[in-house]
Every structure is written in C-alpha cells, then in structure tokens.
Chains A and B, each alone.
Chain A
Amino acid sequence: MEKQWEAMTADEKQEAMFAQWLSPQGVEFASPEAEKAYKERATRLKDAIQLKKKPDRVPIMPMLGFFPAYYSGLTPQDMMYDYEKLSGAFKKYVLDFEPDAHIGIAIPTPGKVFDILDYKLYARPGHGVAPEYTYQCIEGEYMKADEYDAFTQDPAQFFANTYMPRIFGALAPFQMLPNFANIQEIVFVAPNLIPFGIPDVQNAYKALFEAGNEAMKWIGTVGAFNVEMAAAGFPNFLGGFSKAPFDVIGDTLRGTRGMMVDMYRQPDKLIRALEQITPMMINMGVSAAKQAGNPIVFIPLHKGADGFLSEEQYKKFYWPTFKEVLLGLINEGCVPFPWCEGGYNTRLKIIRDMPKGKVMWGFDLTDMTKAKEILGDFACIGNGVPIDLLSVGTTEQVRDYAKKLIDTTGKGGGFIMMNGAALENVKPDNVKTMIDTTKEYGVY
C-alpha cells in the first residue's frame, strides 16, 4: 500500500484522497437519502475544485467564525467552555441552513486547555475580552530579533525551550528541558534526565497532562460532530491546516512589526528561517489531511495581502516559500485552500503559476472579475457576499449580489460561493439568502 502510494502521480494521489472523502470511513449514513446527499455535495465541491467537469450547480460553503453561537443566542465563551453547547449550536446551524459542507467545530477551540496552561498569546472571551467577543492574537515579539540563528538551527528545540515558556505561563520551567538529541550513549542518559527531577518541571508536566485530558474530552465532541454530520449527509470541507511560512514568522513569532523591520535589517536570516519552516508546513498539512481522509488543506493568508507588501517584497519574501508549501501539498495529493483575507489583486498574476485544478483560492476583497479572468482557467476560486452586506445589508441586496457573482464569477464552473471574512454575528436572514440564492440561481 505504502509503495503504491509512492508510485502514484500527484493527480492519482488527489483522486485517491477525494475517493476517501466521498466514502468516509466509519460513517453509517442515517438513510439512503443522506448518503446520496453526502455524495452529491462532496462531488459538487470536488468538481468545482478539479476543473475537469462542470458541477451540477455552484456549491455553497460558508466560512464560519462564531456565527452558530450568535444564531443560537450563545456567546463565543459558551462555545469554548461547554462542548455540548458547541456541538449543539453548530449542528443547529448545519441542519437549519443546509450548506454543501461544514468546517467542523475545531476552530472555536477549548478554553479550559488555555486556562490550565495560562496561554498568553491570545486574548480570549473571559480572559482579556468580554464573553461575547472572539479570541484574538496579542501581537508581540515572542521570538526576539537576535534569535534567528537559534530558531533556524533547531526550530523544535527553540519552541520547547524558548517559545513555549513565553506563551504558556504554566510551562515556564520548560526553559530547563534538555535536548533529546544529546542522549546518544549510556553516559549521556542520566545527566540529560536531571531536569525531569526538578519539581517545577514536574509541575509543568502535570499541567500539560491535565490540559491533555481536557483536549481528549474536546476531541471526542469534535470527532463525534463530524461523524454525525456526515451520517446526516454533510461533508466536512477541511481536511487539514497549514500556513504560509511568512505568516508563521509574522503572526506569532516575530510579530508584524518585528518581521517588517527584519526585512530591512536582516533579510538573509529571515529568508533562511522561512526556508526552514517550509517542510514543516508541508508535513503539517499532509499528515492532517491523510488522517482525516480529506485532501483539502486550509491555509488562511494574512501578511501578503495588497498593501502589506510591495510586489517586489512579496516576490522576495512571501511567494517563494509559500509556493513551495503549495507544491509540496499538491505532490502529496492534497488540495491547498489558501484563504486570502483582505485584497489579493496585486498577487493574482503571481499566484497563477500553479498546476491546473490543484489549488482552491478563497478571496475576500479581491476584484472577482479580475480573479476569474486571471485564474479561472487554472484554479477554482471562491468568494461570496461581502461581510459588510451580510452584517448590515438587506436580504434583497444580498440576493442581488449573490446573483451577480454567480453570473460573472460562477460562469462555466470552477467557483464556490463562500464568504471571504469569517461569519460572526451577521444577520441570519442574510446568510440564509446567500445560501438559498446559490441553490436556486446557481444551477448550471
């Protein structure tokens, strides 16, 4: 089996991954109708992505933040602390709105895990922001300007010894952890185990075990949700998660400001670190997608958007390693799904440089006529009713916008109706209108 996989082309691997997604393991469909609906929905999305065949209609796949919570009269805090409410609210959303796929319930994340570990990287409902707001990253230089060498030399050790103690209060003693790579022969064993005898280190591990127990509880709910939704006829769109190396450094290591200054003061070190991260990001996406039996790897994009970098800066710092991640995923049969938050108008010609039918691009504020013109022959593109209209517009405005989008961007297939900014407390009637209009008006 393993050998067979190695011998396959990227095309064959993708087909094999899609075949798994179309016949999910361990799922007993609730009824023959549910099974038929599941296959129709997954096939519709697959056809839109592969560009081999026009789907029966435009698929509709809303990208969610905490919308199901607000829709059920609950808060993000409820979602993060009460797994039953989490599962219940997201189920209600799927069954009431009937999108072509859902995105699971892992993104709300379990609050208790963060409390146990004293996670400092994010402001969370009840910890830094009010319960009715979503979690938000606290930007900072969690990796210092002079730590590139340490990071590049051994990222895993840098994370264990330096990064984890900074972002988790309970793991501060991890500064004392040894490097396991030092344990090479008999005389090296005991000296390297001394840190594990230190009470502070042992307490850090106790916290980690406690957090692990909580994560187990949480994943039970997350997994059961996926199985139950599949049984009812709704595929999970997301198989795995990855990031562009530039965003890895810019989001949570050096911070936006830190990295932007590094582009000037130490560009070579920055590029070396980006290259170091690249295979890690490929493995992260591939292993999750294989485990899930679903080729689609979600890659939310942040700091390469229009305005964030000049074209020259994008080509020098952002695109080379991001491109390598995309190709690495494609070669293993995955479908990278970069979600371009903000505008991506100035990048369209650059990102066109990809094999056909292998990437699915989600757009937010990008000019979709231009996107269709430049990318349409090469890749599936996604876009939807803009978040401002969904938030404050009328159902009529939403319907008109969706129809226009289907007429122009949807023409000929290769298009998925999805919004480009995560849905939070938008008007439910508007979400319903976007979904229903696509189903009624988007038939090819």
Chain B
Amino acid sequence: MNEFHLTEDQQDCLQELINIAMGQASDQLARYLDTFVYLKVPSIESVEAKDLMKTLSQQKNTMAVVSQGFFGYEGIRGESLLVYQEEDSGRIADLLGYEPDELSQDEQLIDISSILTTTFLNVFAQQIDNRLSYNAPKLLPNVQEILSEHLQQMPFTWELALKVNINYQVTDYSFNCNMILLIPETAITNIKHVLDRILEEY
C-alpha cells in the first residue's frame, strides 16, 4: 500500500478540489486565448517514482515538459510537470496567435504552462488553507537523459507523484496535456489530514 492510498471519501474530496482548481485554470486559459475551453472530468492517479520514470522514458513521440516548483506552509511543496505531446505544442502555438518573431514557441509554451500551473495550484492551495510560492517555470529540452536527470535532481525526495490527466478542447483544436505533481511524503501526509478535516465538516 502506498502513502497516497486514499479512502473512497478522501478520493472523492480530492477529486472535487481538483475539479474546482481545474475549472478556474481553464477559465484563465480561455481568457488568455480569448476562446472557450471545453472541460472534461480530469482523471487522477498516483504514480510511484520508478514507474513514472519508466512511463516518461517510454513516451517516444518526444514531448515538451515544462517544470515548475512550488512551496507553501506545513511541508507542502512539490514540482509540477506539464507534459505535452510534440504534435500538440505546435497547435498551442497556432492558438496563441502571436506574430512569429514576437515570442518564440518555447516562450509561449512556458507562458501557457505557468498560467495553468499557478492558477490550478493557487485555487487548490486556497481550498486546503495554504498559500504557495513558485519558482520560475523551466522548459526542459526534448532529451530523455535530461528529463530523468531533472527528475532525480529535485530539491526534495519524492516517492510518489499525483498525476492529473487533463484534456483541453479549445474550439476546433484539441490538445492533451498531463499535469504531474511530484509531491514528497510529508506533503502527502499533510494533504490527507486536510482532506479528513474537510470531510469531518460534512
């Protein structure tokens, strides 16, 4: 049994907190793109460190990964990874509609990732009575060795990751991106306590 094993009620509570965070992140994305974002129920699962490394290294149609660290009170900290498929990052650039030399595709991807990550995490943190600060987002080059090196060089030990599978459909376009939250054990224990506290209110 892993640290993130949740009871049915805890799972339902976490899913609802994530839905609310996701809804606001999508609203920000929609405003940024000046369009409507079609929202689906995001699926969540927890992944062990070694399995995550394996999954990420097996995704051969190389992707872009934008990584951003976050930290709050009471041991809440982690790293958010937004994982894009290669074919999708081009579509996102189309959507953004910048003049080609105004902002590079990389910069656009970093922008959009940071909007999604910080809005999502701010709303999530608010609901669990926490407040987060962020490091600057970083786009990792499409090289597997660099990705695994990056994952191994986190400033904290993470045994588990919370994987939130998000699918965005933006008008005629659709793109998938996975938000992967790498969370150390202390933060996981803290989140579970907060979930229990919320559940006690009902």
**A, B: real partners:** no
Interface residues of A (CB under 8 A from B): none
Interface residues of B (CB under 8 A from A): none
